[in-house]
Structure 1
C-alpha cells in the first residue's frame, strides 16, 4: 500500500526511519549493557510509536511486525524473557524488513517481505537466512563499546522545524497567559514551511551568478573613476585655451559634475550590492547546512556487521557529529566514507590473533571524525591496523601497467600512497563482497575532486592509516588565478597555487633529461602549459613577452609540486564555475568554464586530472634542451664534508645553470669520477676518509682525469697549503674566509670554457 497524501507520505518516511534508526542505535548500545532494562524500555517506546503511526495510516504489515517487536521488547524490559547477544541479529533482520515496507509505503514499490517468517525469526522459531547469519563467540562481539556522537543526532520533523532550525538545540518556551492572548490577536500565521531542496540548489546557483555580476559592476565603477581622471586632466588643457566660450566652459563643468556624481553613486551601488550578495549567499548556505551526524549515524551498524562477518573486534569512535556542512556534501560523502571504512575493516584491521602476536591492543580502533577550520570541512577516517604496504603497492602498480619501474622509483611516499586511488587498482588478488574490485578508492577521489577538495594519506606499517578529506565550505563560487597562454585565458584554483616566479631561462636545468628548477631547498619539475593544453590557433596578445625570462607558477596537489611555464599572470577573480555538459563533459584537463568580468570566456583547469596526466609523459616539449643553456653540458662535482657548505655551493652552481654531482669525501669523489667524469671539480681539503690533497693526488694518477680542472675551496689559507695544492695540479685555490660568489662563478666559467 502506498500513502496517497504527499505531505503525510513525506512526514511518515522521515518519522519512521528516525524510529528505526533509534532502535538500531539502542540495540548497539545494549551489546555493551545487555541487562539494561532502561535501554529496552527506550527502544520499546520507539517501536510503540512506529506501530501507532503505521496503524493510523492503515499500514497493516508494518503494524503487525512492530506489534510483535513491541511485545518482545516489553517482556525483556520487565524481566519475563532473557535476551541473548545473538538475538540482536534477529532484531536487525526485522528492522531491515521494516525499512523495505516503509519504502513500499512511500514509493509504491512492492516489498517482498514474508510477514509470518519475519515474526517467527524475531521470536526464534525460525533461523535467520544464510546471508544474515553472524558468527558469535565469547571473544567476538562486533563493535566493542561503540562510542556515541558528541551530540546525539536529532532528526527534525519537517512539519515542525526548518532545516536551519533543526541544527539548533530545542528550547522550551513558557508563555504567560496575557502573551498568548496578544499573540492570538495577530491572526493566523504559518511559523514554518517546507522547501524543495532542488529550489535551494537553484537559488544557490543564482546567488553565484549575482556575485559574478557584482564583480562586473565593481569593475564598471572603477572604469568610470578612471575615465573621470582622464577628463580632469584634459580639463586643465581645455581651460587653458585662449578665447574659450564661457557657455562651453559652463557645459564642460556641468559634464564633470555629472560624471563625479555618477562615480559616487556607482560606487555606493557597488558597495551595497556587495553587501547584499554576500549576505544572500551566506543565508542560502546556512539554510542548506546539515550536521555530519546525519551520515555518521549509519556507521555503527555497518562496522558491527562487517567486523563480525570478518571475525574482527573493532572499537568505533565518532566525533564531530555536530559539525555542519552543505546538504550536497552530506549526501555525496556517504559512499566515500563507506568505502574507506570497508577498506579499513577488510585491509587494515587485523584479527585478534594477529594483533596479539604483534603485541597490539585489542579491540582494534577505527575513528571517524569531522571538524571545520576556517573555510574547510575535514573528514577524517583513521585506524590502528596494518598500515599501507609501500612495496606491495609498487609491485601491483607495475604489474597492472599503471607505472613503470623508473617512474615508481622517482615517486615520494605520498605519491606512492596516492596510487590506490587509481580506478581498478587493488592490492587484493581475489574479489570479495567487501572489497577487491579496485573501484572504491576511485569513488573517494572523485568525491574530493568534484567539490574541489584534496585527500591526504598518512600511514605507518603496523601502526595504522589516516585519510583526511579536505573540502571547501563554499563550492558554488571559486577564487582563481587568471593566466594567459597563446592568447587564451585559463583559471587555476588559488588553493593549488603555491607561488608565482619570474626567472631567467638559465635557471632551468636538466636532471635525468627532465627540466627542473630549484624552489626553496627542493628541486621541482617544470612543464610547459601549452604542451598539455594545445590549441589549434593562437590569439594575438597586446602584451609583449620578455624573451629572456620565463613566468612560472608552482602548483601543489596532494603533497606533489610541479612548475608550469606560462605567458602571463593577469589577476585573481571570484568566478562561478559552469561545468561542461553534453559532448564537452569528457574534456580531460578542464573542469568547466566561466565568463570573466571583461566578458571573455575562460576555461578552468582541473588540477587533479592535470597532475595525473603528467605521469609517464615527457616534460617541456616546446622548449628544447639545447635552447636553455650550453652550460648544462658541463657537470660540476662538489666534494665537501660539511652539509651546509655543500648545499650552499650546490645552490650557487645550479642557479648558474650547471648540473651538480656531490660527494662527502675524497674517496667518494673518486668513485663518482669513475661512474661519470665531471667537467670540473670543486673540492675541500680537510675531510674524513680521504682529504682533498689525497684525492687530487690519486685522481692525477689516471691519465683519463688529468685534464679535469680542479678548484680548491678551503679554510686553509696558509702559503704552504696553497703551494701544495698547485703542486698537485689544482687550477685555482680559493679561501673560504675570503669567499665571493661572483669570483667563484667566474672561475668556474673560465675553467670549463678553457
Structure 2
C-alpha cells in the first residue's frame, strides 16, 4: 500500500484517468486498427501510468503496464495484428491493473495472479518482440531535445475535488434566490414610487393646488428624493447581481460538464459480455458522445442506461438464427445517441430487434391487476407502452440474473423522475424499439411559468408549455365524456387545474381583472411526449427562473408535484409535474383509464418449498415466512408433486438435484396438468451453466436462481413479481 496519503490520492485520480482512456481507446481501436493517432494516445497513457506507478513503488502495475505498452508498440510497427482475441486479453489486463491499483490504494488483496496475466499478454507478442520486452532506458537530461529544454514551466490544469464544485454550485443557486428576492423588492419600490406620484397628483387636485406646492414642503421633497434614489439604486444593483450570478453559475456549471462518452463507453463492454452470454451478436453504435452534461446527471443515469441495454439485449434482440429467418442481418444493432435541445439533454437507446409485444403487455397488465381487459381495449399504443415502466412489470416468462433478477424497468422510471426528466417509448413490431430520455441541462435551476389557482401560486416547467389561450364556453364540447377543444384541427382535452389538484375554495373572491367582463377563460396548453392537453387557471402570471429546493422524505413522491421553490416574496411555491397532471386528467371520469391498481382483499400467499437439504430448506423457509408467505415443505420432488394436489399454491420453489424426482422432472410433470400451466415455478440450484439454464427454461420454469450467487433479495424480488 502507498504510505503517503497525499501521493495515494493523487495516484488514484491519475491512474483512474489513464485506465479510462486506455479502455475507451481499446474499444475504438477495434473498429479503427490502423488509426495511428489513437495508438499514439494509448502509448502515451500507458507510458504515463507506468511512470506514475514506478514513482510510488507499485511495481506489479509497472510490470503489466510495460507489457501493454510493448503490445501497442507492436501494433504500431505492424508486428502484431490487432484482432478480437488480442482485444479481449488486453481488456482483461486493464481490468487486472485496475484491481492492482485499488490494492495499492486500499491495501485490500486483489487476488490477481500477475504471472498468469503476464503470460496471457506474452502470448500476443511474437517471439522476436518478446526478446525486446525489456524496459527501455530513460533519456538523460543531456539526451533531451533542445525543444524540451528551456521551455517555461507552465501548469495548464489543476485537480479539484468535485465536492468543492458542488458546494459552489449550491451557493450560486442560493444567490439566484437572493437575486429573485431583490428583483421582487425592486418591483415593490417601483410600485411605491408610482403610488407617491399618483398621491401627489390627487392631493394637488383635491386642494386645488398645482404639484409645485410639494416643493415648499421640505419633508415631501426629501421623501421624494429618497424614493427616486432608492428606485435607481435597486435597479442598478439588481442588474449587476443578475449579471454576476449568471456568469458565476455558468462558469461553475461549465467546470462540472462531462462528455456522455464517459458513460457510453462503459456500456460497450457490458453489451459485448451480455450478448456473448446469450449467444447473440450485437453491435453497439454510439453517437453524440461528445455531448456534455452535468456530472451528477451522468452519475444518476448510468445505472438506468445499463439496465436499458441489458433489457434490449435480453428482451428485444433475437438470436442470429431467428434474425436470419426474418430476413434481418445476423448481427443486431443497438444505437446509443446523445444530443442537446435548447432546454434539454436527450439520450436515446434504440434497437432493431423484435419491438414491444402489445398483447403480452396487456396480458401482464391484467395478470398484475393493473387494468381490466375493457380498460386496455380503449387505450392507444402510446398509452400501453409506458406500462412496462410500472413496478415489477415484465413480460418475460423465464427470469435469470441476466434478465435483471425480475426487476422491471421501474428502476429506470424512478431514476429519471428523480432527475425531473421524462421517458418516452416508441416501438414498431418486428423492427425495433426506442427509449427517449429527456433531462434538464441543470438539476437545481429551471425556468417556469407561474400561474394562480384559487389564490395559490404554482409553477410549471416551461419546456412543457406550448402556448397560452383564451377559451370561451362555446369552444368546449364533450368527446367520449372528456371536455375537449379544437386546436388547429386537432382535438385537445382540457380540465380545470383546481379539479386535478383537488382544490376546493368556493369562497375565494378573486376574479382576474381581464376576465371580469369577459366570458373567456385563461388556458395554458401543455405537451408531454405526443400528448397535448390544456389546463384552466385563474390567471397566468409570468415566467421566472427558480431554484428547486430539496424535498423532505415525507414529500418525496406526492402526486402532481415534482418539487418546491421559494418565490421572491418568501412564499413557498409547488412545482407541478406535467406527466402526473396528464395522468390525473386521463383518470378524471369513469370512462377514462384509471392508473391506480384495483383494490383487492389480500390473503397470505402459499408457497410450496421443495428442497432436500435441511440447512438450505430451513434458511429459505425462515426467509419466506418473514416476508409474509405461508410455506409448505416437501423433502424431494416426488413429495412435492404429491403435496401439490393437497391444496392451492401461489408458487413452487424447488431445488434441481434431489432424490426420487429431480426439480427439472418435477417442473415438467407439473406443466403437464392444464390447471398448473400458469403456476409460477422458481428453480434454485448450484447448476450454473448456460445449458443448465436452458434445460430449466425448456422444462417450464419461470425463473432460475444460482445458489452460488444467491441473495435473499433476489428470491423475494422474483417471487414478488411472479405472484
TM-score > 0.5, shorter chain as reference: yes
Alignment of 1:672-711 (within 5 A): none
- Counterpart in the other structure of 2:421: 453
CA distance in 1, matches of 2:287, 2:344: 17
C-alpha spacing 1:249/1:83, structure 2 compared with 1 (3 Å): closer
What SS does structure 2 have at the residue aligned with 1:466?
strand
Alignment of 1:237-256 (within 5 A): 237-239=202-204, 241=207, 248-256=216-224
Match of 2:322 among 354, 362, 365: 354
Shift of 1:596: 1.3
Shift of 1:578: 0.8
Shift of 1:324: 1.6
- Counterpart in the other structure of 1:209: 174
CA distance in 2, matches of 1:518, 1:246: 58
Describe the superposition over 1:247-298 as per-residue Cα deviations: whole angstroms up to 9, x where unpaired: 8434423432332222222211111111111111111111111222222222
CA distance in 2, matches of 1:280, 1:38: 37
Q: Give yes or no for contact 2:285–2:334 (8 Å, CA) kept in 1.
A: yes
- Counterpart in the other structure of 1:12: 11
**Where does the alignment leave 5 or more consecutive residues of structure 2 unmatched?**
125-146, 593-723
**Where does the alignment leave 5 or more consecutive residues of structure 1 unmatched?**
126-173, 622-754
Shift of 1:23: 4.4
Shift of 1:109: 3.8
Shift of 1:105: 2.5
CA distance in 1, matches of 2:189, 2:434: 54
C-alpha spacing 1:89/1:229, structure 2 compared with 1 (3 Å): closer
C-alpha spacing 1:252/1:4, structure 2 compared with 1 (3 Å): same
How many residues are aligned here?
564
Q: Give yes or no for contact 1:326–1:473 (8 Å, CA) kept in 2.
A: yes
CA distance in 2, matches of 1:230, 1:39: 70
- Counterpart in the other structure of 2:350: 382
What SS does structure 2 have at the residue aligned with 1:602?
strand
- Counterpart in the other structure of 1:200: 165
C-alpha spacing 1:56/1:230, structure 2 compared with 1 (3 Å): closer
Name which one, 1 or 2, has greater alpha-carbon Rg. 1
1:554 aligns with 2:525: yes
Describe the superposition over 1:316-371 as per-residue Cα deviations: whole angstroms up to 9, x where unpaired: 32222222211112222222222222222222222322222222234322222222
Report which stretch shifted further, 204-213 or 450-459. Answer: 450-459
CA distance in 1, matches of 2:203, 2:538: 41
- Counterpart in the other structure of 1:643: none
Describe the superposition over 1:559-599 as per-residue Cα deviations: whole angstroms up to 9, x where unpaired: 22344444443333221111212333343432222121222
Report which stretch shifted further, 593-602 or 312-321. Answer: 312-321
- Counterpart in the other structure of 2:91: 92
Shift of 1:60: 4.2
- Counterpart in the other structure of 1:681: none
CA distance in 2, matches of 1:483, 1:620: 29
- Normalised to the residue count of structure 2, the TM-score between the two structures is 0.68
- Counterpart in the other structure of 2:694: none
- Counterpart in the other structure of 1:285: 253
Q: Give yes or no for contact 1:484–1:569 (8 Å, CA) kept in 2.
A: yes
What SS does structure 2 have at the residue aligned with 1:365?
strand
Alignment of 1:172-183 (within 5 A): none
Q: Give yes or no for contact 1:480–1:494 (8 Å, CA) kept in 2.
A: yes
Shift of 1:43: 5.9
- Counterpart in the other structure of 2:708: none
CA distance in 2, matches of 1:100, 1:485: 58
Describe the superposition over 1:377-405 as per-residue Cα deviations: whole angstroms up to 9, x where unpaired: 22222222222222322222222222222
Shift of 1:75: 7.8
CA distance in 2, matches of 1:372, 1:448: 17
Q: Give yes or no for contact 1:423–1:438 (8 Å, CA) kept in 2.
A: no
What SS does structure 2 have at the residue aligned with 1:407?
helix
CA distance in 1, matches of 2:265, 2:310: 16
Describe the superposition over 1:652-701 as per-residue Cα deviations: whole angstroms up to 9, x where unpaired: xxxxxxxxxxxxxxxxxxxxxxxxxxxxxxxxxxxxxxxxxxxxxxxxxx
- Counterpart in the other structure of 1:236: 201
Match of 2:572 among 601, 605, 619: 601
1:306 aligns with 2:277: no
CA distance in 2, matches of 1:39, 1:515: 61
CA RMSD for the aligned pairs?
3.9
CA distance in 1, matches of 2:433, 2:534: 30
- Counterpart in the other structure of 1:465: 433
Alignment of 1:218-229 (within 5 A): 218-229=183-194
CA distance in 2, matches of 1:124, 1:402: 57
- Normalised to the residue count of structure 1, the TM-score between the two structures is 0.65
Shift of 1:435: 2.0
Report which stretch shifted further, 317-326 or 30-39. Answer: 30-39
CA distance in 2, matches of 1:206, 1:33: 45
